[in-house]
Amino acid sequence: MALPFADFGLQWFKDIIGRLTMWFTQMLTGGYEALSRGSLTTPTPSGNGIDRALTKPPSSDAPWHSIYEATVAGEMMFFGLIVLFLCVQGRYFIRIFDFGSTQEHRRARRSALTGGFLIVSWYWVSVLFLSVVEALTIGLLPNVNQVGVALVAMLPQGLETPILTLGMAAIGGLSIVFLRALFVLRELLLYVFLYTMPIGIGIIYGNVPLVSEIAKRIAVQFVSLAVLPLPTALLFRGYELLFLGSNTLPVSGAFVKYLVTISLPVLAVIVTWKTFSYAAPLASRSIGRVGQGAMLLGTVGTAAYVGGPRAAAMTARWGAKGAATAAATKRASQTNDEPPANQPEQDSNQGGVPEYRRKENDPAYY
């Protein structure tokens, strides 16, 4: 017996929904299994205790060996001192024209001495700070794998409708992948800050108007990047208290269980993204623009299919809401400009005046 075409299409749609749900569920469970202390902690050189900061990393410890050679009697340290010297000389040049008070120049001189000390000792100061952050993260962070296993065990097979199951699984799977990607990007940015910060310190403590203020705002982002895993560690600690151990929070209902399972990566992404957007606003805006561009591209394609090239162009220029408003305004203006069906059209060249009238008889029209 041949299968009707409608039933064949419905079965094909169900198979697609089931396959996508399985992929996102595997992404969620696999992400929980891949999460560990190593993926959320702060990168530091190899070694134990205070030797980690005071000793030179071996050549096999990349990129810490290169960062040490560049920032400890290396090219980045010398560049930072040169930039600081040029900024201080710029302050002396400004003083020739009687700009600024003697107290400000004296304060700038003391600030230059502090900047020189920080440039020379930047590697040890930064490694000690990252070691403190790592110790706090390890102390706050529970066994991430056990928390993930407990939440995955709570995950039901499905919800009332396949579409709802697909939506929940997609939110959870994409959130945990995005969370891991944020921490990978954070590690890369930390290495960049560690390598280039001596030049930034030279600009900050050189007290050049406006330029030093901009450099200070950028340098403060290093601290935000370093403490990025602490809010996530507190969140995991709270979920361990609620859903791990003998006194767990009772959860009933398939929807509530699914919501609890995906809530941890979703909340972790929200907390981490807020901190990350403050620490690296340029990178966060770039990621946000990529997402908005993908959504706009899909909207333009839909508008081109439904309304033609003109609708697609309006959507690309003003967005979906702006294009709809512009189209409605244009349609209303076109409707108002059309003359009624029972009214004869008038000659536009005469301004509504009959041709047989002479100009001198009615000059108000001209």
Give how far the C-alpha of residue 63 lies from the chain's centroid of Cα atoms, to the nearest Å: 25
> Do residues 113 and 68 both lie within one domain?
yes
Contact 166, 177 (CB under 8 A): no
> Which is nearest to 202 in space by CA: 346, 331, 86?
86
> Do residues 71 and 135 both lie within one domain?
yes
Alpha carbons 182 and 270: distance in angstroms, whole number: 11
* In a domain? residue 64: yes
Q: What are phi and psi of 36, to 5 degrees?
A: -150, 180
Contact 176, 32 (CB under 8 A): yes
> Which is nearest to 49 in space by CA: 134, 120, 139, 110?
134
* In a domain? residue 220: yes
> Do residues 324 and 207 both lie within one domain?
no
Tens digits of per-residue pLDDT, 103-162?
Answer: 666 676 778 888 999 999 999 999 999 999 998 988 888 888 888 888 888 887 767 778
* In a domain? residue 361: no
Alpha carbons 224 and 229: distance in angstroms, whole number: 10
> Do residues 231 and 298 both lie within one domain?
no
> Do residues 310 and 204 both lie within one domain?
no
* In a domain? residue 352: no
* In a domain? residue 348: no
The reported pLDDT for the residue numbered 347 is: 46
> Do residues 67 and 183 both lie within one domain?
yes
Residues with Cβ < 8 Å from 314, sequence gap 6 or more?
A: 303, 322, 323, 326, 327
* In a domain? residue 325: yes
Domain that holds residue 315: 282-330
* In a domain? residue 100: yes
Contact 51, 131 (CB under 8 A): no
> Do residues 34 and 174 both lie within one domain?
yes
Q: Is 72 left (phi over 0), alpha (psi -120 to 50) or beta?
A: beta
- Give the residue carrying structure tokens 């439904």: 306
Domains: count for the chain? 2
> Do residues 207 and 300 both lie within one domain?
no
* In a domain? residue 74: yes
> Do residues 164 and 247 both lie within one domain?
yes
Indicate the residue among 279, 299, 315 that finishes a domain.
279
> Do residues 218 and 317 both lie within one domain?
no
Number of Cβ within 10 Å of residue 175's Cβ equals 22
Contact 365, 351 (CB under 8 A): yes
> Do residues 110 and 244 both lie within one domain?
yes
Tens digits of per-residue pLDDT, 301-332?
Answer: 444 434 445 544 554 455 544 444 545 555 54
Contact 79, 85 (CB under 8 A): no
- Give the residue carrying structure tokens 């990566």: 265
Q: What are phi and psi of 35, to 5 degrees?
A: -70, 135
SS3 content of the chain, % helix, strand, coil (to 5): 75, 0, 25
> Which is nearest to 268 in space by CA: 358, 174, 163?
174
Give the predicted TM-score (pTM) of the model: 0.69
Segments of the chain with pLDDT less than 70 = 1-9, 94-106, 108, 158, 278-366
Distances (CA, A) of 172 to 142, 175, 247, 249, 271: 21, 5, 25, 21, 15
> Do residues 205 and 250 both lie within one domain?
yes
Contact 222, 193 (CB under 8 A): yes
